[in-house]
Amino acid sequence: MALADKESERNFQNIATNGIHLRCVVEGDGPLAVMVHGWPESWYSWRNQIGPVRDIGYRVVVPEVRGYGESDAPEALESYDMENMIGDVLGLIDHFGEKNAVLIGHDWGAPIVWNTTALHPDRVRAVAAMSVPYSPRGKISSIALWRQLYPNRFFYQLYFQEAGVAEAELEADIRTALRKIYYSGSGDAPNGLFDAGKSPDARMLDDIASPDVLPPWITEADLDYYTAQFEKSGFRGPLNRYRNQDRDWDNLTGLTDARITRPACFIAGSRDAVLRFVPGVDLVENMKRWVDDLRACEIIEGAGHWIQQERPQEVNAVVLKFLATLDG
């Protein structure tokens, strides 16, 4: 399927929100459901969820997050802090004249929807997050924690901190970079993307294999589409999200001991390395302490980080069952 055909299948709108414009897929009628993607992805990572959620009576809105694809990409690093990400979501809800919305997020999209729910529960009807469990504001920032936990080994979020370094590596050959990242972070790879025991001054992709054949959940045409998206936007904006973790900790004091009080759902793959980022801590069990109404919690055996793409039927079954529990 050609790239133009993929675009023509969807209804795109350029929506003003929080001082910028986001290109969004908008499909269906009914209560609002906003799907927020992570790194390094696009609206397209939700391609298997848009139709099923739309078809049960939702208006589905899937933005290209600021800095991605054809959405605006502000220059300032602080434009990518969590306050702005939350503001973008709230602005989308406002644009459609809704009091609240169901929020669904994956990877960085998960903290965005979790934190929006924690800080603005009146604007969230329910929340479904994938791959990244909820936790309130810690005693130190996330990036400070990674520096403590990974002082003498490579960790990708630390590698991303110096502006321009990761951009140069990833943009030198975008298609190969994405091919390696998607494969090695999936449940199909023998060793995970974040498990490499290499020195902290290494580059990210040098020792990561590029598969001869892609896993069945992602085609060469899918990879073409993602590549075209990053050829438009580059990686600076997406990587700046990682560079705001100290700022987020300083600014979002309202997340200290903040609970998730809205109906919630969590889905992840058993082989998702994110669940093991903090050695000795079960992040899913920790999440349960802070979520008052966790109606679904599914760990899908053998799946990796790209859960809604790797196992769309299983993810959709959990999400639709969860949505069926909501009133109205």
Instruction: Give the residue numbers marked as catalytic.
Output: 107, 305
Q: What is the CA radius of gyration of the chain?
A: 18
State the Cα–Cα distance between residues 88 and 30, nearest whole angstrom.
21
* Sheet strands (E) in 51-162: 59-63, 101-106, 124-130
Contact 308, 49 (CB under 8 A): yes
Contact 53, 103 (CB under 8 A): no
Q: Which residues, 6 or more positions from 200, have their beta carbon under 8 angstroms from its beta carbon?
A: 150, 151, 152, 153, 154, 155, 158, 159
CA–CA dist 284, 265 (Å, integer): 12
- Determine whether 190 is exposed, middle or buried from the number of CB atoms within 10 Å of its CB (0-12, 13-18, 19+): exposed
Q: 193 and 274 in contact (C-beta within 8 Å)?
A: no
8 Å CB contact between 66 and 40? no
Please name which of 195, 192, 4, 22 lies closest in space to residue 112, comparing C-alpha atoms.
22
Matching residue, tokens 């999440």: 287
